[in-house]
Amino acid sequence: MPRFWLAEPPALLRLLSWSIYILAVGTFVATICRPMFLNDDVPTYCTALLNHGQWLDNEFQNWQPPGCMLHKYEANDIASCLNSQRILFVGDSTVRQVFWAAARKLAKHDADKHKERAQKHSSYSYTRRNVTLEFWWDPFLNSTALKVELRSRHNQLEGVLPSSIEQQDGGTAMLLGTGLWHARHLGHEALQQFQRSINDTVAEIWSQGSNFNQRHSRISAANGVRDRVLIAPVEVPLYEKLSPDRGRALVPGVIEEMNLHLEQLSLHHGVPTMWAFKDMTSGRIAAYEESGVHVTDVVAAQRADVLFNMLCNTKAAQAGVYPLDGTCCVLPKAKSLWRASLAVWIVVFVRLTSNAALSWPGLTVLLAAGFASMADRTPMFNKVQKQYSEFDFLVLTGVGFLLGFLTMQPSSSSSRRKWCSPSNGLQSFLSRDQTDEWKGWMQLVILVYHYTGASKELWIYKAVRVLVASYLFLTGYGHTKYFYEKDDYSFRRVAAVLIRLNLLSCILPYIMSTEYIFYYFAPLASFWFLVVYAILRIDRSHNHLWQFLTAKILVSAVLVSAFFHTPGLLEAVFTFLRTTCRIHWSVYEVRFRFGLDQYIVFVGMLTAVIHSRIILARSSIRQKESPAFDPAQRHSFFLPLLLATFATTILVGYSIVAWQFPNKFDYNLWHPYISFLPVLAYAIFRNSHPVLAAYHSRAFTWLGRCSLETFTLQYHIWLAGDTKGLLSTGLFRGDGTFFGDRWRDFVLLTPVFLFVSWKVSNATTVVMNLIIKDAEEKASQGSLKSDASKLPEHNSECPDATPSNPGGYLCSIFGRLGRILWPGNLHGRILILLGVMWVCNWTTSPAQRRP
């Protein structure tokens, strides 16, 4: 096989590294300066939500405001936001549509029943979940009740200083809309009467000379948007679909003039008008019902979501709710940035006072976490919604695999010699290069899967479930091989693995107001590592008996499965954690995540045991007999073909079986029992021929070695809204498609994301290595190690304390404090780290996960 990847000289690597540095800094600076030259709505995106947007699909399911994400509100969200409050809808039938759309979000079937019984031109009240929605039929906005309501609101706000507005009660949110009845029933006076109605309405709530933008457009952390009176533009009908009666009254030009008057009020007086409603129907014939006047229920539901996002997003963000996929009209939460900056300053202090070797890698990890907070919890970067396209998924995946193929190279010479020697053919089965490559191309698929929102496609979902199972298979296989062959069950080994897996995933929840279990791969890998450790550690003196070891693995599989599926056991553990450590994890989420792959780790363990036994058996044959008696030697021509055919047959058979499941729920039921088939088939096929086993992709191997960091950091610095959307620089405009718009942000941000992940991966390894060095190891190393590669005593370089040099006292104090907070033995250090997390749990508000 030709070698496509040439070794890079150090100068080229430095050039590539500096190029990505420059790209990252340039992107960062351009993004910060974006509002100056693009006139963007920063920092809250309220104006963007109010005034603009575009459809990303043709089914009217995905409305994209400029630069921010629209959360689809459901009953629980609305009840939490508007508890004991009401929303008042006043106007004509177009406002009535939004009212019923909002009611359906509280209780769909019940609201439909009420709508069927309601009279056409009447007022209604609908209360569910302690939230009251009211509709007042007032097509001319001239009712006495409306004037009284508006005058009451005006009196409440009159004389209130802007600085104290957010301390006032939230009151009643209002959506007003009129115009169609003016145009249909008032003839040539329609425009004049409309202007009078609107002007009188505006005057009732906003007195002449008052500055709306300063007095009423504030955002409160407790109550969201302080202005609660919004005006809907006049619905522009689809003239060609109007009935003859409506067509004679609703002529082109009149309604456009009405909206022009609203534009002037909005522009010059800051009257909040929901221009996004108008954009939803502009040029969209399918957005209308058959009448040509009213929009479809789907479009009305999107309008209701715009209203709820305007009113509730800030309250959800301040409450620590995640995933934070409603980023329009949000007041950034300062706590997360404060935590990130404080952590960075602590590391800077450590860097200046004591240990450089630990502080620089630690600073790298914390800076990455701080960047995640800045990118995903502030308005500095835009956040846009995903729109799935199978073509985008296939193209991005195909380009990634092409790059992986072009970087194929031979594995290490030792592995090649082993494979070229038939007697040692199985030695390189699932070698380090192979497993890293496997992790790498799987990570590519998973990244593209998340970026394109491909979970909507059932066949892709099934494939990704197999990839996650493959990761866990490799976890079981790799740790079993290590423990079985090295017999190293030390606390140092356990601590090293768990720190390497969890360092980033334990830091991010405190900075991002999420939960550890949210970054689910680290918890999965950690739990199964401990399971493997416990199985092999218990009565390890008999592990050489393969029957005994196999029995331990099988019994453990039954016990672990029973633990997850027995009602009450997992609940009891989580109750204990909640009581003692203030850990609020979802039992359902844990049971779902861990139950999907409850057996694949044990398959990996059995594979490692079988592989080790085969190696021992072949070694025994070679010692006793001639190599000609080795079965692999005798069948060296037919064996690769037989293995490849066998693996291919399994893959095809699995695909046929998996194709029969019509939905995710049915597939998930069977996945734990059939996922091992494609995993083992790939492992066999990858090693079925010496050529296949002797080469690996350098690009995939590199990605595989930082796959843990790319999986975790993608949540916030490549994706956005806790994976629900995509991060964007906001420097470009387009139609929202990948190839028509988003490819430019993809090209800018993907190298930065991969570079940060790589740096964090290296830093995490350094931090892990430094933490697990205890006093005895340092003593044994003596002075052979440089100061940069060990942890020196904190007071080893303190000068003598004298009246003229009081710094010696401070150095001595800090040295003693350092030895207390960072003891010389590993057990003490782990206890300190756990203690810090325990204190953080009790001093921070627990995150609330949306269902």
DSSP assignment of 26-48 equals HHHHHHHTHHHHH---TTT-HHH
Question: β-pairing, 695-697 with 224-225?
Answer: unpaired
Token representation of residue 661: 């499941």
Look at residue 212 and give its three-state secondary structure.
Answer: helix
Mean pLDDT of each 10-residue bin along the chain, 851 residues long: 46 63 64 55 78 95 96 94 91 97 96 93 94 96 92 69 45 90 93 95 68 48 64 95 91 94 91 95 94 96 97 88 92 60 57 59 87 90 96 97 94 51 59 95 98 96 98 97 93 96 95 93 97 96 92 97 94 95 93 95 96 82 59 65 93 95 96 97 92 91 97 96 95 91 95 94 92 60 43 48 54 62 84 92 86 69
Distance between CA atoms of residues 183 and 179, nearest Å: 6
Phi and psi at residue 410, to the nearest 5°: -65, 150
The token duo for 728 is 């964007």
Q: Facing residues of 128 across strands?
A: 131
Tokens of 497: 């693995």
SS3 state of residue 433: helix
pLDDT attached to residue 847: 85
Structural element, H or E, at residue 72: none
pLDDT value for 619: 74
| Residue 422 identity | P
pLDDT at 636: 62
Residue with tokens 């340092």: 778
Write down the pLDDT at residue 810.
Answer: 55
How many CB atoms neighbour CB 332 within 10 A?
19
CATH architecture of 46-322: 3-Layer(aba) Sandwich (3.40)
Instruction: Say if CB 440 and CB 703 are below 8 A apart.
Output: yes
Question: Where in the chain are the domains?
Answer: 46-322, 355-771
Q: Which two tokens stand for residue 425?
A: 């053919």
| DSSP label of 288 | B
Q: Answer whether 734's CB lies under 8 Å from 725's CB.
A: no
The CA-atom distances, in angstroms, between 611 and each of 185, 203, 702, 760 are: 85, 83, 26, 34
Name the residue type at position 22. I
The amino acid at residue 53 is: G
DSSP three-state, residue 11: helix
User: Which residue, 697, 712, 103, 737, is CA-closest to 409?
Assistant: 697
- Which DSSP helix (H) or strand (E) runs through 135? strand 131-137
3-state helix, strand, coil in the chain (%, to 5): 65, 5, 25
Answer positive or negative: Cα dihedral of 671, 672, 676, 679.
Answer: positive
- Choose among 270, 387, 373: nearest CA to 324: 373
Dist CA 294 CA 307 (whole Å): 18
Tell me, what's the pLDDT at 615?
A: 84
Q: How far is CA 290 from the centre of its chain?
A: 40
Judge whether 141 and 91 are in contact, CB under 8 Å: yes
What pLDDT is recorded for position 808? Answer: 55
> What DSSP designation does 360 have?
H
CA distance linking residue 567 with residue 587, whole number of Å? 11
pLDDT of 392: 97
Beta bridge partners of 230: 175
What number of H helices and E strands is found in the chain? Answer: 37, 16
CA–CA dist 726, 384 (Å, integer): 5
Cβ contacts of 658 within 8 Å, gap of 6 or more: 462, 667, 674
What is the per-residue pLDDT for 413? 46
Three-class DSSP labels, 107-120? CHHHHHHHHHHCCC
Paired tokens of 118:
């309601």
pLDDT at 443: 98
**Please, is 335 exposed, middle or buried when counting C-beta atoms within 10 Å of its C-beta (0-12, 13-18, 19+)?**
middle
